[in-house]
Chains A and B, each alone.
Chain A
């Protein structure tokens, strides 16, 4: 049995869930359970499922058995995700995909980094010192050219429909992995609620907890003044008594969501982990490192929350929609981004958390190589750039290429669903697992995206 275990842990070509469950059960129960663990091996579209015949009587799976070759390799390399979202469409040419000596660069220029051959826009001076930890994707492509739909697509892997709302990545993680810290939500977003951290068709409790201002932390999270613990409990009991009949009568998603929200909020109020939300407890040096911007403070809060067992933290930064006066805007926004991002990379590395924390830098689309008449760059969905660091990503690499002018994808196109499947893959999520909406329509974490496995290892 030990050997078998060894195989599962060390061999990356692990079998699928059914095999795992059957193995787990057999090892824990000491019996054969090939048929017992029904529901473990749901087939997904296009996924080979280990055939029952490949599972031997002792519950072990022969890796050579036919059919297994198609099972996607999937292991969790990350425990948490810090997702930095540049709302409005971050220019790719001036940041992650600079073109040496090209007229499209205008006021930006490429600088070298601590990895030979990797170049960044000169605005990212601090981040450039940490490129050994990061992988850049310069061949992102999206089908959406407007902010709302683009933002939605990036967050959910699906295009917007009027008939249904899709869950965001953080909600999927909450749904499929469950919370790690029992007292805290699985997913939190920091910053303005431009897309919603929405649970979509999933139960509302999987939605992200929103923190508007990182400095004020979690609002309204203590008992009202003059109400002692006993009185508080009495009030809760009364409320719950009054609710019972209504809840029995209307067992609807929305009604349940209210109850869930109450329960979760109460647990949080009494939790020692409430401290995770207050960056006031951080020493001055840390505030100095991350910078005074809202985004920098958001990054600091994200690091704290990850330390407290939150699985997915999104930090949003607005103002990247630079149609006019791009150089002026870049000066301010890039300073914030550079400082916050570099601080995160450095801080997580020092704390030994980068190995298990995936940092994502994402946006809805890139910006045009040609300058607009107002001296800015316009929306550019055909090609753009993102960055992944830590969490099992092999640093110091550039994946994919845009053409000479940064106008279109030249090599290894990565679609938005592919990108999200990559995040899901890092988190060890079953990206092929089908979850049904209440209207019984099938959905997956990243639609039909395929993870870019070359980025790992």
Chain B
């Protein structure tokens, strides 16, 4: 952390010296740090939307500049004239001190905000939520990489096994024993262990590890000092780390201290109702699902709240018998099926034939004919049947007894005759027929 702070000072002075560093990574880093402070201490009461206290919102640069009851919160480039900075620097007991309620920003947080304002309070929406590694200067990362490369370790390549080892043994230890003092809130000795890049850079006493060599690694040395040593970590008054865990640290360093890159926090889409559905499938179901998907057969829940499944078979090229088997896993929950444009082969017929709980069935715009219709099973719940632009004729209408609950029938652009439709209308007045 020290390193970054002095680094920032450099930026600050460069800024004052009149050098323009528009959009530089340094400015982005300054913004990100300031934003995190605002987020941690201010957003709860001063956010746009939920009636911000004192009519001041601090979650966008516009609202900061517009200010609240006490006028603008910021004067760009002038921390000494900015209400925001004034308020956080007031004595805890003084009127107008922020954050309200007795809290106080720590020194590094105050510096982060002050330097950001001095630097012109640049706001970069795009850097928010990104990967932390992106925020580091290229130099910092390449230094670390070089350090590891000397030992034949590529820090950017971490095997799945190593990643799991790190997660199970090292990261969990950091969380339970270390990040209280070396984390997001405090960075004692300039060390931060909740962030890969910062951790590998180490603290005031140098890099965290020397890959492959525990005896030269600060982390391992500090963990294994005698109990009465001042340098021992965790400090002697804190709970001890078990010998097994320390052995894992040793093993980890010997393996080359593989630390997987954090998954990008970019919204890569997140859950949609279909990913939620697939995530809940068993391995076997998932395999069946994937095999269907591969040939263009698509299953999704009808909506977020459930209500059965929708089957879209119309993007499939051609069916095989094995897909019938895969589909059988889902068939009783499929209420809605789309077989438009499907080529009517025996496997296709079989596929459709096993969907006994259908409520809505789309067969339009396909070569579906009377013979295919004959093979349809009884569908006691079918409500909607679409046969427009198919090859069905009057013969099909005679077989509609199979669907006692049918209320909508679409026959436009077929060879079905008007007289057959009229007869059907008389027989089943509740049935809406569109021709």
**Are A438 and B305 touching (Cβ within 8 A)?**
no
Q: Once bound together, how far apart are the Cα atoms of A256 and B130, in whole Å?
A: 12
By a CB distance below 8 angstroms, the chain B residues around A435 are 267, 270
Among B264, B285, B315, B384, which residue has its beta carbon within 8 angstroms of that of A352?
B384
**Any A CB within 8 A of the CB of B17:** no
**Are B60 and A163 touching (Cβ within 8 A)?**
yes
**Any B CB within 8 A of the CB of A396:** no
**Are B364 and A352 touching (Cβ within 8 A)?**
yes
Measured between C-beta atoms, what is the minimum distance from A396 to chain B in Å?
15
Q: Once bound together, how far apart are the Cα atoms of A9 and B62, in whole Å?
A: 48
**Are B274 and A24 touching (Cβ within 8 A)?**
no
Complex interface bits, A241-261 against B, C-beta within 8 A gives 1, otherwise 0: 000000010111110100000
Measured between C-beta atoms, what is the minimum distance from B21 to chain A in Å?
19
**Are A440 and B128 touching (Cβ within 8 A)?**
yes
The count of residues in chain B whose C-beta lies closer than 8 Å to any C-beta of chain A is 67
**Are B271 and A39 touching (Cβ within 8 A)?**
yes
**Are B280 and A28 touching (Cβ within 8 A)?**
yes
Q: Once bound together, how far apart are the Cα atoms of A101 and B383, in whole Å?
A: 45
**Any B CB within 8 A of the CB of A17:** yes
**Any A CB within 8 A of the CB of B131:** yes
Task: Write the chain B residue with the least CB distance to A78.
Answer: B303
By a CB distance below 8 angstroms, the chain B residues around A273 are 315
By a CB distance below 8 angstroms, the chain B residues around A351 are 364, 386, 388, 410, 412
Among A17, A39, A206, A251, which residue has its beta carbon within 8 angstroms of that of B264?
A251
Interface window among B6-14, B81-89, B294-302, B396-404: B294-302
**Any A CB within 8 A of the CB of B395:** no
By a CB distance below 8 angstroms, the chain B residues around A8 are 305-308
Complex interface bits, B267-294 against A, C-beta within 8 A gives 1, otherwise 0: 1111111111101111001000000010
**Any A CB within 8 A of the CB of B123:** yes
**Are B306 and A248 touching (Cβ within 8 A)?**
no
**Are A436 and B315 touching (Cβ within 8 A)?**
no
> Beyond A27-B333, A438-B126, A438-B129, is A9–B308 a contact (Cβ under 8 Å)?
yes
**Any A CB within 8 A of the CB of B16:** no
Segment 198-239 of A: residues with Cβ below 8 Å from B: 201-203, 205-206
**Are A14 and B60 touching (Cβ within 8 A)?**
no
Q: Once bound together, how far apart are the Cα atoms of A351 and B263, in whole Å?
A: 46
Measured between C-beta atoms, what is the minimum distance from A387 to chain B in Å?
22
**Any A CB within 8 A of the CB of B61:** yes
| Most chain A CB neighbours (cut-off 10 Å) among B129, B156, B412 | B129
Interface window among A178-186, A333-341, A366-374: A178-186
Measured between C-beta atoms, what is the minimum distance from A297 to chain B in Å?
21
Q: Once bound together, how far apart are the Cα atoms of A15 and B268, in whole Å?
A: 27
By a CB distance below 8 angstroms, the chain B residues around A161 are 48, 60, 62
Task: Write the chain A residue with the least CB distance to B64.
Answer: A163
**Any A CB within 8 A of the CB of B104:** no
**Are B282 and A28 touching (Cβ within 8 A)?**
yes
**Are A163 and B134 touching (Cβ within 8 A)?**
no
**Are A252 and B134 touching (Cβ within 8 A)?**
yes
Segment 294-342 of B: residues with Cβ below 8 Å from A: 296, 298, 300-308, 312, 314-315, 332-333, 335, 340
**Are A9 and B280 touching (Cβ within 8 A)?**
no
> Beyond A163-B125, A175-B272, is A352–B280 a contact (Cβ under 8 Å)?
no
> Beyond A17-B304, A75-B303, is A441–B410 a contact (Cβ under 8 Å)?
no
Interface size class of A (residues with CB under 8 A): 35 or more
Measured between C-beta atoms, what is the minimum distance from B76 to chain A in Å?
15
**Any B CB within 8 A of the CB of A197:** no
Q: Once bound together, how far apart are the Cα atoms of A205 and B410, in whole Å?
A: 36
> Beyond A203-B267, A203-B268, is A9–B307 a contact (Cβ under 8 Å)?
yes
Q: Once bound together, how far apart are the Cα atoms of A75 and B285, in whole Å?
A: 25
**Any B CB within 8 A of the CB of A191:** no
**Are B335 and A9 touching (Cβ within 8 A)?**
yes
By a CB distance below 8 angstroms, the chain A residues around B394 are none
Measured between C-beta atoms, what is the minimum distance from A283 to chain B in Å?
10
By a CB distance below 8 angstroms, the chain B residues around A206 are 269
Q: Once bound together, how far apart are the Cα atoms of A435 and B386, in whole Å?
A: 37
By a CB distance below 8 angstroms, the chain B residues around A248 are 156
Q: Once bound together, how far apart are the Cα atoms of A412 and B414, in whole Å?
A: 45
**Are B273 and A438 touching (Cβ within 8 A)?**
no
**Any A CB within 8 A of the CB of B107:** no
Among B61, B266, B384, which residue has its beta carbon within 8 angstroms of that of A438?
B266
By a CB distance below 8 angstroms, the chain B residues around A355 are 384, 408
Among A40, A177, A441, which residue has its beta carbon within 8 angstroms of that of B59?
A441
Complex interface bits, A328-364 against B, C-beta within 8 A gives 1, otherwise 0: 0000000000000000000001111001000000000
**Any A CB within 8 A of the CB of B39:** yes
**Are B280 and A24 touching (Cβ within 8 A)?**
yes
Segment 7-29 of A: residues with Cβ below 8 Å from B: 8-9, 14-17, 20-21, 23-25, 27-29
Measured between C-beta atoms, what is the minimum distance from A76 to chain B in Å?
4
**Any B CB within 8 A of the CB of A164:** yes
**Are B304 and A74 touching (Cβ within 8 A)?**
yes
**Are A438 and B128 touching (Cβ within 8 A)?**
yes
Task: Write the chain A residue with the least CB distance to B385.
Answer: A352
**Are A252 and B130 touching (Cβ within 8 A)?**
yes
**Any A CB within 8 A of the CB of B163:** no
**Are A182 and B315 touching (Cβ within 8 A)?**
yes
Task: Write the chain B residue with the least CB distance to A425.
Answer: B303
By a CB distance below 8 angstroms, the chain A residues around B434 are 349-350, 352
**Any B CB within 8 A of the CB of A439:** yes
By a CB distance below 8 angstroms, the chain A residues around B269 are 175, 178, 203, 205-206
Q: Once bound together, how far apart are the Cα atoms of A254 and B302, in whole Å?
A: 32
Q: Once bound together, how far apart are the Cα atoms of A438 and B315, in whole Å?
A: 34
**Are B296 and A178 touching (Cβ within 8 A)?**
no
Task: Write the chain A residue with the least CB distance to B384.
Answer: A355
By a CB distance below 8 angstroms, the chain A residues around B266 are 203, 251-253, 256, 438
**Are A352 and B304 touching (Cβ within 8 A)?**
no
By a CB distance below 8 angstroms, the chain B residues around A20 are 301, 304-306
Complex interface bits, A24-50 against B, C-beta within 8 A gives 1, otherwise 0: 110111000100010110000000000
> Beyond A183-B315, A203-B269, A252-B126, is A429–B304 a contact (Cβ under 8 Å)?
yes
By a CB distance below 8 angstroms, the chain A residues around B293 are 182
Q: Once bound together, how far apart are the Cα atoms of A176 and B307, in whole Å?
A: 17
By a CB distance below 8 angstroms, the chain A residues around B48 are 161
**Any B CB within 8 A of the CB of A309:** yes
**Are A75 and B62 touching (Cβ within 8 A)?**
no
**Are B307 and A76 touching (Cβ within 8 A)?**
yes
Among A17, A162, A180, A251, which residue has its beta carbon within 8 angstroms of that of B62?
A162
**Are B303 and A428 touching (Cβ within 8 A)?**
yes
> Can you list 30 contacts pairing A with B, beta carbon distance less than 8 Å?
A8-B305, A9-B335, A25-B280, A40-B276, A161-B60, A162-B61, A177-B273, A178-B269, A178-B300, A180-B298, A180-B312, A203-B269, A206-B269, A251-B130, A252-B266, A253-B266, A256-B268, A309-B315, A351-B364, A351-B386, A352-B364, A352-B384, A352-B412, A428-B305, A437-B128, A438-B129, A438-B265, A438-B266, A438-B267, A439-B128
List 4 additional A-B contacts (Cβ < 8 Å) besides A163-B125, A182-B296. Answer: A28-B280, A178-B269, A253-B130, A428-B303
Q: Which 10 A-B pairs have the closest CB atoms?
A: A428-B303, A352-B410, A163-B60, A438-B129, A76-B303, A20-B306, A439-B128, A25-B280, A352-B386, A14-B305
